[in-house]
């Protein structure tokens, strides 16, 4: 424990083992492999090695599909870590409860849009959407990204297998496990478990629920700047512009 600062990039960490993990990004691929060989905690499935056993425990859950973080008592969704469960629970809080969370010091409020976040990590990841800062560069094509996760996802297009997550029920493949899960739930299981808070109607995805609320309850319309025709979804407006008002 205790604050530690990286000598390479001056980034601050509140636990020394977090700094140790971070320092790996400043090593070459060969140096990283050499360091990992000295770690004692090896995965039984893929032979990855970890410095401390809690990291190994979290990694093992990706193979066993265990949800070690617990279950949300409101919507019954399960999570792979306690931190993810904590972050999720913020979604169920009222505005007054969110303000109280920030005042007691266990949450962060975005200075730009006043969205509340349960952790510093999520707060800082969100901030780049306002500052437009893109500190993560792809070392193969030079493209810049605001979040490291987005860079990792992008790097798959440079790999031999850009869509590694294949559906067992059809021939479709996906770039992320999340997209594969959404596909199975929506297409094969036809599960609709996200209820509209206004009318109770259920949808298969959060995106579909948001579109429903904005168009049906908030009655938000997207007008065409050329002919005044309005649309309930931005995507439909875009299709209209491409088909009807194509630039000469």
Task: Look at phi and psi of residue 240 and say left if phi exceeds 0, alpha if psi is from -120 to 50, else beta.
Answer: alpha
What pLDDT, on the 0 to 100 scale, is given for residue 1?
A: 44
Cα angle value 116/118/124 (rounded, 5°): 75
How far is it, in rounded angstroms, from Cα 192 to Cα 190?
A: 7
Domain final position from 161, 176, 204: 161
How far is it, in rounded angstroms, from Cα 95 to Cα 207?
A: 22
Instruction: Tell me, yes or no, whether 204 and 248 share the same domain.
Output: yes
Would you write out the chain's pLDDT as a tens digit for each of its 248 residues?
Answer: 445 555 556 666 655 556 655 666 666 767 666 656 656 677 766 667 777 777 776 676 666 555 667 777 777 777 767 777 777 777 787 878 777 877 777 778 887 777 888 777 778 777 777 777 787 888 889 888 887 888 888 888 888 888 888 998 898 999 888 888 888 888 888 888 888 878 888 888 777 887 888 888 888 888 888 888 888 887 888 888 888 887 65
Domain final position from 64, 96, 113: 64
Which pTM does this prediction carry? 0.43
Instruction: Tell me, yes or no, whether 54 and 105 share the same domain.
Output: no
Instruction: Tell me, yes or no, whether 74 and 125 share the same domain.
Output: yes
3-state secondary structure of 51: coil
How far is it, in rounded angstroms, from Cα 107 to Cα 100?
A: 9
Instruction: Tell me, yes or no, whether 248 and 200 share the same domain.
Output: yes
Handedness of CA 80, 83, 85, 90 (dihedral sign): negative
The token duo for 213 is 């609320």
CB 234 within 8 A of CB 224: no
Instruction: Tell me, yes or no, whether 75 and 117 share the same domain.
Output: yes
Q: N- to C-terminal Cα distance for the chain?
A: 64
CATH of the domain at 44: 3.30.160
Instruction: Tell me, yes or no, whether 51 and 97 share the same domain.
Output: no
Start-end of H helices in the chain: 16-23, 29-37, 53-64, 82-89, 95-103, 120-131, 148-155, 177-183, 206-212, 234-244
How far is it, in rounded angstroms, from Cα 79 to Cα 66?
A: 9
Name residue 145's beta-bridge partners.
136
Instruction: Tell me, yes or no, whether 167 and 157 share the same domain.
Output: no
CATH of the domain at 244: 3.30.160.60
The token duo for 174 is 């996906």
Instruction: Tell me, yes or no, whether 110 and 140 share the same domain.
Output: no
The token duo for 30 is 């060969």
What pLDDT, on the 0 to 100 scale, is given for residue 118?
A: 77
Instruction: Tell me, yes or no, whether 97 and 113 share the same domain.
Output: yes
> What's the farthest any 2 CA atoms get from each other in the chain?
67
Name the domain count of the chain. Answer: 5
Range of the domain at 176: 163-192
Tokens 């808070």 map to which residue? Answer: 197
Instruction: Tell me, yes or no, whether 208 and 238 share the same domain.
Output: yes
CB 146 within 8 A of CB 132: yes
Instruction: Tell me, yes or no, whether 77 and 33 share the same domain.
Output: no
């Amino acid at each position: 424990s205790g604050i530690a600062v990286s000598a390479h990039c001056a980034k601050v960490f509140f636990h020394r083992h977090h700094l140790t993990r971070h320092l790996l990004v400043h090593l070459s691929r060969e140096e990283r492999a050499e360091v990992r060989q000295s770690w004692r905690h090896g995965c039984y499935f893929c032979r990855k090695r970890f410095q401390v056993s809690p990291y190994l425990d979290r990694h093992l859950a990706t193979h066993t599909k265990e949800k070690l973080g617990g279950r949300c008592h409101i919507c019954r969704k399960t999570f792979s870590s306690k931190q993810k469960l904590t972050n999720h629970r913020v979604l169920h809080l009222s505005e007054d409860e969110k303000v109280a969370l920030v005042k007691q010091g266990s949450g962060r409020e975005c200075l730009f849009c006043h969205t509340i976040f349960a952790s510093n990590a999520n707060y800082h990841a969100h901030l780049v959407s306002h500052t437009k800062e893109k500190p993560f560069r792809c070392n193969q094509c030079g493209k810049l990204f605001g979040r490291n996760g987005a860079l990792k996802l992008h790097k798959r297009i440079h790999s031999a297998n850009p869509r590694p997550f294949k559906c067992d029920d059809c021939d479709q493949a996906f770039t992320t496990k999340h997209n594969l899960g959404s596909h199975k739930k929506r297409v094969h299981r036809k599960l609709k478990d996200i209820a509209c808070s206004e009318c109770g109607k259920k949808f298969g995805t959060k995106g579909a629920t948001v579109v429903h609320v904005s168009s049906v309850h908030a009655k938000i319309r997207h007008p065409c700047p050329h002919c005044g025709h309005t649309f309930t979804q931005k995507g439909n407006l875009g299709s209209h512009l491409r088909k009807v008002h194509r630039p000469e």
